[in-house]
Every structure is written in structure tokens, then in C-alpha cells.
Amino acid sequence: MKKWFFIPLTLLLVNIASAQFNESPILNKQNEDKKLLNWGYFLGLNQYDFKFEYKENAPDILVSKSFGFNVGLIGEIRLNEFFDVRFEPGLHYGSRLLGFPSPLIEDERDALVEVKSTYINFPLLLKASTRRYGNFKPFLLGGVSTGLNLGSNEDSLDDNETGTFRMKKWVYNYELGFGIDFYLEYFKFTPSIRGVFAITDELIPDNDPNSPWTGNIESLKTRGIFINFTFE
């Protein structure tokens, strides 16, 4: 599946580079950035991780990361030639496998916990762009977001004793990234990469305060990388 995603993407990027970086490109969509409002959508990949803070010194909890996917919409308001405000509501699915080193966990299978998360993310971002060079324009992106974790298990009465890892439904983040707008003949294509960093603790501890899974965790915060491909 990944192969069929990356092959057409690579071909598209090669064609864009050959068309945009020649000496005298034909300018595409010259009035694209003069509109007050712009709309679009994005597709992409993510890789989520956790940042742990511990109450006492102990072996770290290991996190095995995998790739998930992003999909969502874009609404953009033009402030001036260099600044835009963007709202990017999206669906982000990811998975993390946690390895708990506690010797108190008798069954080795219980020491591995898969955390599947489906976030509905609501970021409000400021986009700061350079001047347009031919048919491309680099930019920086930053802002804040809040996400609703549909797989949080916050309302569950079960905990890790019965195989249920619990997190809070709502998480608050800051986001930083960069990308390049490419102005093609019929649309604007934008690859970008962004770091996402939670600023609130997401962990709901187990019912037992001495739990071998959560007893030594002071806080747990999501962090991750988004690679998005935007079409406007």
C-alpha cells in the first residue's frame, strides 16, 4: 500500500521540479494568493510518539512507532502578502506500541500495550511566507491546536489490569512546521512537514496507585510528525 502511495507522489514531485526550477517558467495561477479566502484539502502521513516524565528513576518505557494517515480540509484567510491565518480540521489516525519494563508484570504479553488513537484535530495556524519565486514560495507555519481522541477510553472503568490503556479525550498542542507552495497549471500543490507537541498531560492513571503500568508516570504527552500534501 505504501508503495502505491509513494510511486505516484515521487513522479508528481519530479514533474513539478522539472517544470518549476527552469530559468524562465511560465507563471501559473498568478492571482491565487490575492483572494481573501482560499479553500482546499490535505492528505498525508503521521508518526506519533509519547514523551514521558517519571516520578522516580527507573528504566524507560519503550515506544515503537508506526506510520498513520491524515486527511482533512483547509480554510485560509489572507492578511497581507506575507501572512495568512489557516484553519485545518482533520482526522489523524496513528498507533503506538508501548513496552513496559516493570518486573512486577508477570506475563510478558501484558508488558506490551498497543495504543491506537484517532484524533479529530482543530489547528489554528499562522503561515508566514516569503515572496513568490517563479512558481514556488517557501513558508513557515506555527500555531496551536486542540484534538479530540476518539480512542481515549476515558470513560472506561477498566484499566491496564484488564488490557485497557486510558487517556484523556482532549489534548492541547502547539505546532511548528515548514513547506513550499508550488503553483501548477490548475491548482496549488503544497508539501509540508510539521512537528506537533502536546502541552497537557493525557494520562488517566490506573485505579491502583501502585500499578506497574502507570504508577511511576508523572505525565504522558503526545508528540509527532505530520507530512502533509495540500491541494488548493
> Where do we find the cell 513550499?
180
Query: Cβ distance 134 to 27 under 8 Å?
Result: yes
Distance from chain centroid for Cα 13: 22
Query: Cβ distance 117 to 149 under 8 Å?
Result: yes
Q: Around 141, how many Cα atoms within 13 Å sit in the side-chain half-sphere? A: 27
Query: Cβ distance 220 to 201 under 8 Å?
Result: yes
Residue 60 is given by DSSP the state P
Residue spans of beta strands (DSSP E) within 131-216:
136-149, 170-183, 188-198
pTM of the full structure: 0.83
Q: Supply 21's cell numbers.
A: 526550477
For residue 217, the model assigns a pLDDT of 93
Q: Domains in the chain, please, with CATH?
A: 31-231 (2.40.160.20)
Q: For residues 43 and 194, what is the distance between their CA atoms, to the nearest angstrom?
A: 13
For residue 102, the model assigns a pLDDT of 74
Residue spans of beta strands (DSSP E) within 31-100:
37-54, 62-65, 67-78, 83-87, 90-99
Query: Cβ distance 168 to 60 under 8 Å?
Result: no
Tens digit of pLDDT per residue, the chain (232 long)?
545 555 555 555 555 555 455 556 688 878 888 889 999 999 999 999 999 999 988 888 999 999 999 999 999 999 998 999 999 999 999 999 999 987 767 777 788 999 999 999 999 999 999 999 889 899 999 999 999 999 999 999 998 988 899 999 999 999 999 999 999 988 999 999 999 999 999 999 999 999 999 989 999 999 999 999 999 9
3-state secondary structure 94-143: EEEEEECCCCCCCCHHHHEEEEEEEEEEEEEEEEEECCCECCEEEEEEEE
